[in-house]
């Protein structure tokens, strides 16, 4: 996967980057709701996996926003053309492991790749955690047991700049509409609120565009 270095001399966010790089707690999380009515009422009955559909939509949101694919290594900022999606995969013994799947904007291509990786990760030994050797990933986790209103993640330190995205239980508003809470946690040196607004827009558009196979 290709990456290119951001020229801080011409990058409009360079001053903002330097400001938040010095913060002790530079991460922030935003939770917003995504509409999953069509996913629940049309796609799931047609055989679409809601879990994989959410992974796909989150991947589409991340790839629609360059800031979410930026990482810093010291004072060097890079932008990845593409990042892998690292998702939590439940196992039969109650534990979980991490899977890694490359994102493809075509649902028909992405879905079988994702399904295979989930099945394989469920059978592998060990956690499979990223030990810090790569930053061309985004971390995804599903919490289907609860409908949360906010969430934050354990972070290894203030220089951790890989986005974390979590989603919860699907809920029915009683009027036939279904939604899900989606939280994204990011490093403010790289990502502003405007970027997250674009992320949620792209996520919703991807959910709405999925067609059953």
What confidence score (pLDDT) does residue 126 get?
87
The total number of structural domains that make up the chain:
1
* CB neighbourhood size of 92 (10 A): 7
What confidence score (pLDDT) does residue 199 get?
98
CA 48 to chain centroid, in Å, comes to 19
CATH number of the domain residue 23 falls in: 3.30.559.10
Residue matched to tokens 């956690």: 127
Contacting residues for 167 by C-beta, under 8 A, at least 6 apart: 34, 54, 58, 142, 143, 180, 181, 182, 183
pTM value? 0.96
Per the CB < 8 A criterion, the answer to whether 145 and 152 are in contact is no
pLDDT in tens, the chain (213 residues): 699 999 999 999 999 999 999 999 999 999 999 999 999 999 999 999 999 999 999 999 999 999 999 999 999 999 999 999 999 999 989 899 999 999 999 999 999 999 999 999 999 988 888 887 899 999 999 999 999 999 999 999 999 999 999 999 999 999 999 999 999 999 999 999 999 999 999 999 999 999 997
Contacting residues for 54 by C-beta, under 8 A, at least 6 apart: 142, 167, 180, 207
What confidence score (pLDDT) does residue 189 get?
98
Q: Which domain holds residue 40?
A: 3-209
């Amino acid at each position: 996967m290709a990456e290119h270095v951001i020229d801080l001399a011409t990058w409009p966010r360079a001053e903002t980057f330097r400001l938040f790089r010095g913060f002790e707690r530079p991460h922030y999380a935003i939770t917003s709701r995504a509409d999953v009515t069509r996913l629940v009422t049309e796609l799931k009955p047609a055989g679409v996996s809601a879990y994989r559909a959410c992974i796909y939509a989150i991947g589409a949101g991340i790839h629609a926003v360059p800031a979410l694919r930026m990482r810093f290594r010291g004072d060097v900022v890079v932008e990845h053309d593409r990042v892998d999606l690292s998702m939590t995969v439940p196992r039969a013994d109650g534990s979980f492991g991490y899977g890694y799947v490359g994102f493809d904007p075509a649902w028909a291509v992405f879905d079988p790749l994702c399904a295979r990786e989930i099945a394989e990760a469920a059978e592998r030994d060990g956690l499979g955690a990223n030990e810090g050797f790569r930053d061309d990933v985004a971390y995804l986790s599903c919490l289907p047991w609860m409908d949360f209103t906010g969430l934050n993640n354990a972070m290894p330190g203030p220089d951790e700049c890989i986005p974390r995205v979590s989603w919860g239980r699907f809920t029915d508003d009683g009027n036939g509409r279904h939604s899900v809470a989606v939280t994204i946690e990011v490093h403010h040196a790289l990502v502003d609120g405007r970027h997250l607004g674009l992320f949620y827009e792209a996520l919703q558009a991807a959910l709405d565009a999925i067609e059953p196979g």
